[in-house]
């Protein structure tokens, strides 16, 4: 099992450029999440999804969009990148059942720099 | 007040020592808590789940104190490989997953 796979692993963007981060999981998990992690800030939830075709805003959604067209994929888009979006992005998924009893499985992360 | 708070450390202890750190939470209705471990520039990985009265896994013991609203992680006979950041995770009243900022632990030879 590959678990949770994120692509790309690294990316450098110029201000105003757009990109899409891909997260794929092969564990048949219902729930998927996008987090960003900045030094001293901990993990902050950007958007999440409780199932195919559904998405919801997290703690810091501004400047990002997401889509969950297939159960196994969760896409994070930056329409117009800003230096404040320089961060490490983690995707995670959790198994079906009660969400508050299910631990998260994380991808390896994407390191994004916006210049 | 943050929903989940941790002492950022760093905790610097000698190999073989016992070390403990706490995580406080503000939502008294929170039911589930977890400890994750994160190595430098890597993804967080589940270390332990903490349910009801806590649990033990080898050298690691997690406790839940509902009266004082904190959970703790105890590491006995610490190894060099235990050096990492430990993240406390709880669930808010909106069933959102809330991460603490992490406690840095460094084990010295």
Structure tokens at A109: 């992360």
Q: Which residues of A touch B87 (CB under 8 A)?
A: 42-43
Q: Is residue B97 very low, low, confident or very high in pLDDT (cuts 50, 70, 90)? A: confident
Which of B3, B4, B27, B43 to mutate: most A Cβ within 10 Å?
B43
Whether the predicted pLDDT of B90 surpasses 70: yes
Q: Which residue of A has its CA nearest to B104?
A: A40
Q: For B81, phi and psi rounded to 5 degrees?
A: -70, -10
Whether the predicted pLDDT of B95 surpasses 70: no
Q: How far does the CA of residue B14 sit from the closest CA of chain A (Å)?
A: 25
Q: Which residue of A has its CA nearest to B49?
A: A103
Which parts of chain A sit beneath pLDDT 50? none
Among A64-68, B69-73, B96-100, name the one with the lowest average pLDDT: B96-100
Task: Note the pLDDT of residue B26.
Answer: 86
Q: Is residue B94 very low, low, confident or very high in pLDDT (cuts 50, 70, 90)? A: very low
Whether the predicted pLDDT of B93 surpasses 50: no
Report the relative pairing of strands A110-114 and A10-13 from DSSP bridges: parallel
Whether the predicted pLDDT of B1 surpasses 80: no
Q: Do A40 and B101 touch (CB under 8 A)?
A: yes
Task: Note the pLDDT of residue B4.
Answer: 87
Place of tokens 């692509």: A7
Average pLDDT, chain B: 89
Task: Note the pLDDT of residue A97.
Answer: 63
Task: Note the pLDDT of residue B39.
Answer: 95
Q: Which residues of A touch B99 (CB under 8 A)?
A: 35, 42-44
Of A33, A42, A101, the CB nearest to B101: A42
Whether the predicted pLDDT of B83 surpasses 70: yes
Q: Do A90 and B44 touch (CB under 8 A)?
A: yes
Please give the residue that has the higher pLDDT: either B95 or A58. A58
């Amino acid at each position: 099992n590959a678990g949770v796979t994120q692509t790309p692993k690294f990316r450098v963007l110029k201000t105003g450029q757009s990109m899409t981060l891909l997260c794929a999981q092969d564990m048949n998990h219902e729930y998927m999440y996008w987090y960003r992690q900045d030094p001293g800030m901990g993990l902050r939830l950007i958007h999440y999804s409780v199932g195919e075709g559904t998405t919801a805003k997290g703690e810091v959604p501004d400047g990002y969009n997401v889509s969950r067209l297939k159960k196994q994929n969760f896409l994070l888009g930056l329409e117009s990148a800003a230096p404040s979006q320089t961060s490490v992005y983690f995707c995670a998924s959790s198994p079906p059942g009660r969400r508050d009893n299910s631990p998260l499985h994380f991808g390896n992360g994407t390191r994004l720099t916006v210049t | 007040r943050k929903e989940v708070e941790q002492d950022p450390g760093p905790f610097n202890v000698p190999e073989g020592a016992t070390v403990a750190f706490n995580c406080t939470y503000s939502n008294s209705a929170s039911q589930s808590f977890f400890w994750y471990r994160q190595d430098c520039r890597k993804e967080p990985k589940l270390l332990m789940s903490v349910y009801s009265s806590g649990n033990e896994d080898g050298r690691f013991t997690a406790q839940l104190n509902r009266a004082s609203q904190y959970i703790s992680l105890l590491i006995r006979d610490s190894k060099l490989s235990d050096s990492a950041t430990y993240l406390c995770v709880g669930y808010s009243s909106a069933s959102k997953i809330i991460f603490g900022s992490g406690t840095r632990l460094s084990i010295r030879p």
